[in-house]
Chains A and B, each alone.
Chain A
């Protein structure tokens, strides 16, 4: 089999995205659903660990595909996520959503399989473009603005990565993706670029801004690729880098105040992504095989339970027109299957034993516990599951789906939910339960070859004790009126306030001040400028806008005159 065949899965997704744009709307569903199945069959045939596709370009040797165990795991995950997403948006006739979703996964697969920096950068940008398309496809003013901000941040990440890879390549001659030291400036550029993608604190605002405002397809699949590609790249470039530990810790703790206060549950979920991602970043900073295996598996589990929760909220939004917590109660009575799926996903999210989330999270935490990091940090990170209990179980699962509805609660229509959307919810949930009860299934997927066993009686009892006590304490506090608020609270300020101040308010204030100051000190100059800018005579031929051709002609004439003058002088 030719090496070129290794590019087939990515090529298939990209070709399918183009087809979605060209063919009639009715075809989109068939293409979107068939592509991950066909591509997965092709990938199983052609891809084996250790294979590479190399291509000479000018003085460089590109490696667009370098198959390794981590890449294969991510390929499998992205195919699965693409299939789930396709099921979920089956009824959508919007070609932009279908096409952007396929291109988004193509970018993701290309980025995790890329062996050299230049190929990685190309796929990195495809993710940015297609991801923005998934946000734009909502077609509201707010989503358009959020899509632009998302795109600007992703382009910013791309520019930082480009600067880093060029500096690294030109100084070391190394164009293949591999560990880069932070003692070089290039390392810092790469860290910031990949950090934007992974949702580092202070650089995370695009995540909580764009994801909640995305289209139906965006809500279901945006959690699967962008940030995960950032984490995978961090694993390849900065494994065991100490600075990732404080960054990840802040990243995991930052959203606590938001997930417990935000009224819009889509924003709650977007913020909650940061908690899981922060934990992953800390584990990448630890860098042992167990830690990196934990991160790899937790990426997969996080995609499964977060996709389920986001898809459930997308259903709520589509049927009730809102995802504000104070208006949603007792939906489980109308939608029992959705409620059951949300319950399982929430349990996996807080790493309850016998779910896949427990296995992957405990692998990371086990590596952190046995590392040289202080024990108090381990306990802080362990207790993040309790935060999960509060936002995922109490706020989303219990209140929205199981608590009895009251007079203010919205009621869904009596129409049955589309079966394919229910299937899209059931598929990841089944896998979460299956991998929880048969953790051996995940052992064969560990890309870094660790053999740490985390499904032990001690760890199961410890986790159940911690979450059980937390639940009991919360119940007692809630009875005394000290629980989580049920009314709608005002929107919380985040670092976006600082961005807005620095990028818009401050420049406007400075410009205003400058104008006022200049007008006061040099009135004659200002008058002269105004005179030139706004001539008082009627605009004749010279004042009209000219065609570009005429402009080019006049430029050529001027250059010809200059040339003649030059010749005469010489």
Chain B
């Protein structure tokens, strides 16, 4: 049971962390110029 709970928590936490990394990364690494093909 604990194992299953661990996986469920991992899933929820991973989404939150990934979205946080996305936002912070975009702020730091997002450039002004956009290179399109």
A399 interfacial contact with B, CB 8 Å = no
Majority SS at the chain B contact face: helix
Say whether, besides A462-B3, A465-B11, A473-B11, A213 and B26 are in contact (CB < 8 Å).
no
A379 interfacial contact with B, CB 8 Å = yes
> Which chain B residues in 1-37 approach chain A with CB under 8 Å?
3-4, 6-16, 18-19, 21-22, 24-26, 29-37
Tell me if B31 and A491 are in contact (CB < 8 A).
yes
Majority SS at the chain A contact face: helix
Tell me if A390 and B16 are in contact (CB < 8 A).
no
A241 CA to B28 CA in the complex, in Å? Answer: 34
Tell me if B15 and A465 are in contact (CB < 8 A).
no
Residues of B within 8 A of A494 (CB): 29
A252-290 toward B: CB 8 Å interface, digit per residue (1/0)? 000011101101100000000000000000000000000
Tell me if B29 and A470 are in contact (CB < 8 A).
no
Tell me if B26 and A470 are in contact (CB < 8 A).
no
Count contacts on A: residues with CB < 8 A to the other chain: 43
Tell me if A473 and B12 are in contact (CB < 8 A).
yes
Tell me if B18 and A382 are in contact (CB < 8 A).
no
Looking at the assembled complex, report how far the CB atom of A125 sits from the nearest CB atom of chain B, in whole angstroms: 28
Tell me if A483 and B19 are in contact (CB < 8 A).
yes
Say whether, besides A324-B36, A477-B15, A484 and B22 are in contact (CB < 8 Å).
yes
A491 CA to B29 CA in the complex, in Å? Answer: 8
Say whether, besides A382-B10, A461-B4, A463-B7, A470 and B37 are in contact (CB < 8 Å).
no
Tell me if A484 and B7 are in contact (CB < 8 A).
no
Residue of B with least CB distance to A321: B37
Say whether, besides A142-B37, A484-B22, A489 and B11 are in contact (CB < 8 Å).
no
Looking at the assembled complex, report how far the CB atom of B12 sits from the nearest CB atom of chain A, in whole angstroms: 4
Can you list 26 contacts pairing A with B, beta carbon distance less than 8 Å? A257-B25, A257-B29, A263-B34, A264-B37, A386-B15, A390-B15, A461-B4, A465-B4, A465-B8, A465-B11, A468-B11, A469-B8, A469-B11, A473-B12, A473-B15, A477-B16, A484-B22, A488-B34, A489-B26, A490-B33, A491-B33, A491-B34, A492-B26, A492-B29, A492-B30, A493-B29
Question: Which A positions have Cβ atoms within 8 angstroms of B?
Answer: 140, 142, 212-213, 256-258, 260-261, 263-264, 324, 379, 382-383, 386-387, 389-390, 458, 461-463, 465-470, 472-474, 477, 482-484, 488-494
